[in-house]
């Protein structure tokens, strides 16, 4: 292939109904956004916004992943992605639905690039590729791809962008991310026009942001109180909102090339690539949003307990209802399934809080005040101590005690 190998421009511009169906943008767009405005106007009230292409114009990928052109959107420079051809990446076939997702496989990125350069694999969508962790594991810096905007650096799910940061309290080194670790929530997506992600909510009920490096996307956003219109007759969420009248009535947005969209915690969304797209996404949360993440995990646990209620009866029948032996076994059983179902249990949740208290991910000027941070944590600890789990999960109790030593007792 030549120096700037690309696919033919697969776009939906020939379908004016698709583009023209997007109403005038109803959420704010900023060229710059201070941390304080971000915290007060969007993070705390849980509302969406967009950062303009100025936020990504200096990213290395804005140059290397695009073929220079006078037109917008750009075409993808697939040759530049050959640097990562050896990465094993998850691939969704968006032409084959499998239960509540698409059929998935793992392939070498180079093999997928080969298909696209032959104008094949039009339904293939590279999703949840841990590109940043792979780059770090290979001893390089993610600045070869991007720079996290200042207002988004207080990220409790991912390693600090600035690796020079050290904890305010103590001298423990920062943990190193790994591509196979569930603690890395920095993802890269790429796929041709027409590929899409069905209606979903992000892991842990977290926030997310998504930067379009190449191409444009259409987003459908649904706040938690608007989900009734996107459920079928059985009360289940639909797979594709385009099949519904008025597409479910959510907030519909055209995200232009170079823009970053912020998706609030707990908001369901669907995303369609209308050009060949390359995007960088982060799932994250931070201390101001800790109560939302906590409640999401509580809800997930309740769902698990209801699903295996028969196991509880079997445990009681086997060990008896006298004493607390049965309950300790039940709590441990629930936690094991919760980790598989929700991605973490109480140990993982509180370990994440502890790590971020001891190793703050952002500078103080790009973080909430210590008073706000500690207040949210203390309130959440108080709620957790009112749960039966607190009495039986001894390892979680040790983690919480360490948190309290760092910030002060919760009462």
How far is it, in rounded angstroms, from Cα 118 to Cα 322? 68
pLDDT of residue 411: 53
Q: Are 11 and 275 in contact (CB under 8 A)?
A: yes
Q: Are 199 and 243 in contact (CB under 8 A)?
A: no
Handedness of CA 200, 203, 209, 210 (dihedral sign): negative
pLDDT of residue 21: 83
- Which residues partner with 252 through β-bridges? 220
Confidence of residue 25 (pLDDT cuts 50, 70, 90): very high
CATH 2.60.120.650 segments of the chain:
16-285
Confidence of residue 16 (pLDDT cuts 50, 70, 90): low
228 phi/psi in degrees, rounded to 5: -60, -30
DSSP 367-390: S--HHHHHHHHHHHHHHHHTSTHH
- pLDDT at residue 111 is higher than 70: yes
pLDDT tens-place string over residues 350-395: 999 999 999 999 999 999 999 999 999 999 999 999 999 999 999 9
Confidence of residue 409 (pLDDT cuts 50, 70, 90): low
Burial class (CB in 10 A: 0-12, 13-18, 19+), 173: exposed
The secondary structure element, H or E, covering residue 191 is strand 186-191
- What's the mean per-residue pLDDT of the chain? 89
pLDDT tens-place string over residues 119-176: 999 999 999 999 999 999 999 999 999 999 999 999 999 977 655 444 444 444 334 3
Burial class (CB in 10 A: 0-12, 13-18, 19+), 180: exposed
Choose among 185, 142, 145: nearest CA to 163. Answer: 142
pLDDT tens-place string over residues 195-227: 999 999 998 889 999 999 999 999 999 999 999
**Distance, CA of 340 to chain centre:** 17
Burial class (CB in 10 A: 0-12, 13-18, 19+), 200: middle
CATH of domain 16-285: 2.60.120.650
Q: Are 282 and 177 in contact (CB under 8 A)?
A: no
pLDDT of residue 6: 39
Average pLDDT of 264-292?
95
């Amino acid at each position: 292939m030549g120096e700037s190998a690309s696919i033919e421009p697969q776009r939906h511009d020939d379908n004016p109904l698709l583009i023209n169906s997007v109403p005038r943008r109803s959420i704010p767009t900023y060229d710059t956004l201070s941390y304080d405005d971000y915290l007060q106007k969007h993070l705390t009230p849980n509302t969406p916004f967009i950062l303009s292409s100025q936020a990504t114009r200096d990213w290395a990928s804005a140059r290397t992943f695009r073929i220079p052109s006078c037109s917008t959107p750009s075409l993808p420079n697939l040759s530049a992605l050959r640097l990562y051809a050896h990465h094993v990446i998850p691939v969704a076939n968006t032409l084959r639905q499998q239960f509540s997702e698409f059929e998935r496989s793992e392939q070498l990125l180079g093999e997928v690039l080969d298909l696209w350069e032959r104008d094949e694999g039009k339904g293939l969508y590279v999703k949840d590729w841990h590109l940043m962790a792979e780059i770090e594991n290979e001893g390089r810096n993610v600045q070869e791809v991007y720079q996290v905007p200042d207002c988004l650096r207080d990220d409790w799910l991912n390693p600090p962008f600035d690796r020079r940061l050290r904890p305010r309290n103590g001298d423990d080194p920062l943990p190193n991310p790994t591509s196979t670790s569930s603690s890395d929530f920095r993802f890269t997506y790429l796929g041709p026009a027409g590929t899409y992600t069905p209606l979903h909510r992000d892991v842990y009920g977290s926030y997310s942001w998504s930067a379009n490096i190449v191409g444009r996307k259409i987003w459908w956003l649904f706040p938690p109180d608007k989900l009734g219109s996107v459920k079928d007759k059985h009360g289940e969420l639909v797979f594709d909102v385009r099949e519904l009248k008025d597409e479910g009535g959510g907030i519909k947005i055209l995200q232009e090339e170079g823009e970053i969209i912020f998706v609030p915690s707990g908001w369901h969304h669907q995303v369609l690539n209308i050009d060949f797209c390359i995007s960088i996404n982060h799932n994250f949360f931070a201390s101001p949003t800790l109560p939302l993440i906590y409640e999401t995990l509580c809800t997930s646990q309740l769902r698990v307990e209801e699903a295996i209620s028969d196991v509880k009866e079997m445990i009681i029948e086997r060990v008896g209802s006298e004493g607390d032996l049965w309950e300790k076994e039940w709590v441990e059983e629930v936690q094991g399934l919760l980790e598989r179902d929700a991605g973490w249990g109480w140990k993982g949740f509180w370990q994440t809080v502890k790590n971020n208290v001891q190793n703050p991910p952002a500078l103080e000027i790009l973080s909430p005040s210590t008073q706000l941070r500690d207040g949210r944590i203390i309130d959440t600890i108080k709620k957790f101590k009112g749960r039966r789990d607190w009495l039986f999960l001894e390892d979680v109790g040790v983690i919480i005690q360490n948190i309290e030593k760092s910030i002060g007792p919760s009462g």
